[in-house]
Structure 1
Amino acid sequence: MRLVVCLKAVPASTEVAMDPVTHTIVRDGGDAVWNPYDTAALEVALRLKDEARAAGQEGWVGVVSMGIPATASLLEDALSRGADEALLLSDRAFAGSDTIATCYALTLGIGRLCAEPDLILCGKMAVDGDTAQIGPMLAAALRLPVVTGATTVERHGAAVDVEQVFDGARRRLCMHGPGVVTVDKDAATLRMPSIEGVLAARRTSVPVATAADLGADLDRCGLAGSPTQVVSCFVPERASDAVAIEGTPAEQAATLAYLMGEVLA
């Protein structure tokens, strides 16, 4: 079973800077971590790999990420935890990519990493963007079926059973053939790296692919290929005023009704 996991580096802090010209997050590599939804997807892939190998079958996990050169160190961490190969897409031409341009670059990267993956996994969403668009867009671009928000992913022969929460209800779906699954962050907790894995990862040089290496159309990359932009970003102001309502339950109810009326008036 050949699995590809898409990983995204996100700021470790809630204090982020926005470029005043491009209106994109400034990514300088400082205090970056993997998106927690993506780490759940990676652990799901590693478990499927372990199960395949335990059954005497092929099990392989490749990880791909698009980001600045410093992202390579995070990919080494993924290798230390059990991923077999990694690929970093890094080029100034990719800077400022929205989800459309990001999806385009990732499809090229996935094709370079693994020509015919059995399953592509990514986090349900990224904590710095909250769009939840990349997984479905990858599926559409590659003409593959997609299941979103998976809480469990189990392999049964050539099929994959996926459980998801949809409209407040749990349901199970069966996917046959290659497909894309986006994973909820509570689906799995990423394992710790082994000593052997850490040493092996340190001896590995993560390959870096530029737009030219991928044969990418520059008109579809970065800001040039991004029809959407974030025009502003701000932290909402929150009031901390509170009113303590005292009295009997009837008096409290009457006071609450009055206050709600004042708010809605």
Structure 2
Amino acid sequence: MTTLESLVDWFDDKNKVMIALSGGVDSALVAYAAFQKLGSSAIAVTADYKTLSAEELGTAKQICSEIGIKQLLLDYSELENEDFIKNNSDRCFHCRMELGDHLIQLAKEHNVKVIVDGTNLDDLGDYRPGIEALKQNGIRSPLVETRFSKPKIREIAKTIGLSVYDKPSNSCLASRIPWGQRVTAEKLTRIEFGETIVKQLTNVKQVRVRDIDGSAKIEVEKQMISRLDQNVLKQITEKLKMIGFTSVEVDQEGYKPGKINVIAD
């Protein structure tokens, strides 16, 4: 049976563990379980690789504070990795291979043999080359091995009082740029600012601002599209143009993960 106890027990024979912790609920629950079993022998690691939003980084720090777990920050730039910035369909693979290299190096420095992440059963159904890269680096996924689905993760996270239990899923800012269009610091900055602007003016939590050749395509969940009325959209458009977008439109189909995962001409 999938329970918090089964996840905590997964760490039973692990001497010292490093958890790749983002700002999301999945890795938060893994970190919580590891800390319950191992205490100070569980270390959370958050990678600030320049495609993680400041909001996600802040949440990751907050999670570690709530749990009481020690957190290390990995600081490097994916924008120095040509395989990443050319943004082909295997971008996530190159991202996660590089992350794996950094995690393995850090684990050696801290005498850690086991590195884990927050991949869960629901992640396995999507096209996720990043998961394959982590697997190749020997990084394990306790939530998969103990058969956790996303709804179960949220349910348990709520029960134990993790503030991120209902936090919408997120992905790196580069995922807002269609495959085949290069990832640049300028694009990432305007995407991050753009999403903050939309969230502030609509009070919607799940927001994507896709950067399609400089045009902003805003995605929110279908039932939230009504919050982007004419008046609000006018304000958003003015602000998004100020930060460098050439035009702004709302995707009437609503938010769907990975919607622009097609090679752009």
Structure ranking higher in helix proportion: 2
Higher relative contact order (CA 8 A, sep 6+): 1
Q: Which has the higher Rg, Structure 1 or Structure 2? A: 1
Per the normalisation by structure 1, the TM-score is 0.40
User: Which is strand-richer, 1 or 2?
Assistant: 1
Q: TM-score, normalised by structure 2?
A: 0.40
